[in-house]
Amino acid sequence: MKQSWKKLSDLIGGKKFLIRKVYIPEEDIEISGSFETPPLAQLSVEDQLFVAAFVKTHGSIKQMESIFSISYPTVKNRLNAIGDHLEIVGIKVDVRDSVSSVLDRLERGEISASDALKEIT
């Protein structure tokens, strides 16, 4: 299955595409029309793999740093860039809010847990 997915992404070369036909073999049903792919499927293959790794690591930025051999700010910047491409159900989330920045500093070891609690509350 992954090989077919890779070949499709090679064929489209990063261009936006629509699905014109869907076939469900278990039901022998074929549906024709014009269907957009889900937001995650519209990301590049590299970004999809990055998101999958982030989910598999339960959102651990430290593990992402290790897996991809990149720095903490690079992980955060990449996640922010991917998030900017995902418009899901009109939800707009500002990941750069003050609580997020406090937690980021806590994870980097720049502040203590008690200091973080003081800043958040």
- Residue 61: which of 44, 48, 78, 45 has the closest Cα? 78
Q: What is the pLDDT of residue 47?
A: 92
Secondary structure of residue 95 in the 3-state scheme: coil
Residue 61 near residue 51, CB atoms below 8 Å: no
Residue with tokens 């955060």: 76
* Domain assignment of residue 28, given as a range: 2-90
Q: Are residues 81 and 111 in the same domain?
A: no
Q: What is the pLDDT of residue 88?
A: 65
Number of domains in the chain: 2
Positions in the chain short of pLDDT 70: 1-7, 88-98
Q: Which tokens is 53 given? A: 């790794």
Q: Are residues 76 and 46 in the same domain?
A: yes
Q: What is the pLDDT of residue 89?
A: 57
Q: What is the pLDDT of residue 93?
A: 60
